[in-house]
Structure 1
Amino acid sequence: MNLDKQRVFTVEKEGLLLPFLLEKHPQKGRNKVKAMLTRGQVMVGNSVITKHNHALVPGDNITILNVGSLENKAIGIGVAILYEDEHIIVIDKPPGLLSVATDDEKERTAFRIVNEHVQSQHPKERIFIVHRLDRETSGLMMFAKSEPIKHQLQDNWKDVVLERAYIALVEGAVENDKGTIKTWLKESNTKTMYVSRPGEGVPAITHYEVLRKNSEFSLLAVHLDTGRKNQIRAHLQSIGHSVVGDRRYGSRKNPIGRLGLHANKLSFRHPVTGETLRFETAIPAKFKSVFAVQ
């Protein structure tokens, strides 16, 4: 990839974010600097900021992030590589593809497709699974290219990952524009997660914000504080708004022909360089189609 080196600036006086960026990037022009904000390339401290008039105070650290989605290389069955170096690979996984094979299912997986890609260039190399997406969930996944990098990422996941967000299309009009779901989750004998009594199972925290809604559906931006199995699906069912197409968790409608869940944002510190990388994919067109004017 041909990306500019990550840049970090320290604020010396009070002001607003857009004028500060314009001052630091006089060669880019106003529209290009605004685009950096829109794409989520600007962090103030540890938070991605998109508002032009965000207030800055002395001592704030401003980081300009690389955008991994500048590369988009298709390698098979809808899998696209967004970023690759000698240590990690980030992909965009299509719905309907397993992340990795299980004891019961040996079919083609995202893991196998990416592993074949790596071995086609370096036959002695292999990849290692870092985290998973459900089969019907699409979006961003990261793999490691060595076992030490895998363990480094997994053992320090909470510190390494700065942002992990999803887009969810759910049934019904969600009343509150923003909300937090905080419960305990437990797995049933049928491997379905459900909200349990406090102290039983594992704690789980999900934040959501309504992006769009009508009388039948709501489009949500979802952020996780914890990464439990089927957490989003179980939590949204628990507030009466099952993810579209998710029959296991109470859905009765599926106008888009797939599960309405997409992992669209992933920001993390590179396990070797310490550089902050951020990736964002578009909201699937099918998700937005249910809000089209009839």
Structure 2
Amino acid sequence: MKRILSYEINEDYAGLSIQEFLKQQGYSTKVITYVKRTDMGLCIHGERVRTNHILRLGEVLKVSIVEEVGSINIVPTNIPIQIVYEDEDILIINKAADVPIHPSQGNFDNTLANMVAYYFEAQGEKVVFRCINRLDRDTTGLLILAKNMLSGCILSDMMVKREIQREYHAIVSGHIVESGTIDAPIAREVASTILRCVDFENGERAVTHFNRLKITNECSYVALKLETGRTHQIRVHMQYMGHTLLGDSLYGGDKDRIGRQALHSYRLQFKHPITKEILDFIAPIPVDMRKIIE
């Protein structure tokens, strides 16, 4: 995958070194090092320049990010993916249920990484698999993938700074209160590598905001926004509230009406990592959840 970016230097940036300028554009030290080691990675007027070059008004800096090797040990698998949006820097996918994100023992060729590898291989491209917001195997909905190392480092930094707004929709047991905030730390369950629990002594801070959208069939349809991003955060917080997600067998949810946890990544709002345009994506509720809601 090759990405070429051009920057026309205005009064705000004239007098900065290229190193300083790239830092202001969100380039990490790792990406800057990679680019300056790339043949013609940094050019002005067709000539290669160093990162200590002092930029002048009107110069056009061209940055070439060339990644010739994709993710290794990921077998391309011809399984369709639902693409919501794609450009040179990002790929937004509406993930189906029963799809793990990364290959692991027992999931060698049936993961999203395998499907994405096939998608790009079919176009003659090699891409490193960079998933920005991860979802559990049976959680459906919107995911952001970065197509190059620059968009990857900027988006990862945005996640840390909580600049990517995430809204989930879920169906939980019982009638939950109309709205509220759960501020309860989460830790790994003792003697388990998978389970998490609320633990006020050893846990890391976890905050979830929720609003009830509808009450139906002894269940509540809920919208949730994450302020933090702990493993299984929504699932653990709903269990803690006494309203376990339907189908969530890991945390004691009712499995009679749906065969997975009723959780969907419904909406993503964030600034594009390169253009800075405000992006807003919504993925409709999947059929299995919609049947229960209706």
TM-score w.r.t. length of structure 2? 0.68
Structure 2: which 5+ residue stretches go unaligned?
Answer: 1-76
1:173–1:215 contact (8 Å) kept in structure 2: no
Partners of 1:86 and 1:283 lie apart in 2 by: 28
Partner Cα distance (2:224, 2:146) in 1:
25
Counterpart in the other structure of 1:195: 198
Q: Is the 8 A contact 1:137 1:262 kept in 2?
A: yes
Q: Residues 210-221 of structure 1 correspond to what in structure 2 (within 5 A)?
A: 210-214=212-216, 216-221=218-223
Write the deviation string for residues 118-168 of structure 1: whole angstroms up to 9, x where unpaired.
222133444322221000000000111122321221123254734200010
The structure-2 alpha-carbon separation of the partners of 1:181 and 1:218, relative to structure 1 and needing over 3 Å to count, comes to: same
Q: What's the secondary structure of 1:97's corresponding residue?
A: coil
* In 2: Cα distance, 1:127 partner to 1:238 partner: 34
Cα deviation per residue 1:3-44 (whole Å; 9 max; x = unaligned)? Answer: xxxxxxxxxxxxxxxxxxxxxxxxxxxxxxxxxxxxxxxxxx
SS in structure 1 of the partner of residue 184 of structure 2:
strand
- Contact 1:184 / 1:196 at 8 angstroms: preserved in 2? yes
Match of 1:134 in 2: 136
1:245 maps onto 2:244 in alignment? no
**Cα distance in structure 2, aligned partners of 1:94 and 1:108:** 12
Alignment counterpart, residue 283 of structure 1, candidates 279, 285, 290: 285
Counterpart contact for 1:165–1:223, Cα < 8 Å: yes
Residue 287 of structure 1 aligns to a residue whose secondary structure is helix
Gaps of 5+ in 1: 1-74
For 2:187 and 2:287, the matched residues in 1 are separated by 33
Which of 79, 82, 100 is the aligned partner of 1:80?
82
**Is 2:221–2:293's contact at 8 Å kept on the other side of the alignment?**
no
Aligned length: 216
CA distance in 1 between partners of 2:212 and 2:256 (Å): 19
Matching residue of 1:99: 101
Identity percentage of aligned residues:
33
Aligned to 1:178: 179
Relative to the length of structure 1, the TM-score reads 0.68
SS at match of 1:194: strand
| Aligned counterparts of 2:117 and 2:78: Cα–Cα separation in 1 | 12
Partner of 1:265: 267
Q: The residue matched to 2:144 in structure 1 has which SS?
A: strand
Q: Say which of 223, 234, 246 aligns to 2:236.
A: 234
Residues 78, 93 of structure 1: 8 Å contact kept: no
What per-residue deviation string (whole Å, max 9, x for no partner) do you get for residues 237-269 of structure 1?
001000011011121333023320000100111
Which residue identity is paired with 1:168? Answer: A
Deviations 1:79-127 (A, max 9, x none): 2011111111000000110011135632311122112212221334443
Whether contact under 8 Å (2:131, 2:143) holds in the other structure is: no
- Which residue among 168, 171, 175 is the counterpart of 1:169? 171
Q: Give the number of the structure whose alpha-carbon radius of gyration is greater.
A: 2
Q: By percentage of residues, which structure has more strand?
A: 1
Which range is displaced more, 118-127 or 209-218? Answer: 118-127
SS class of match (2:156): helix
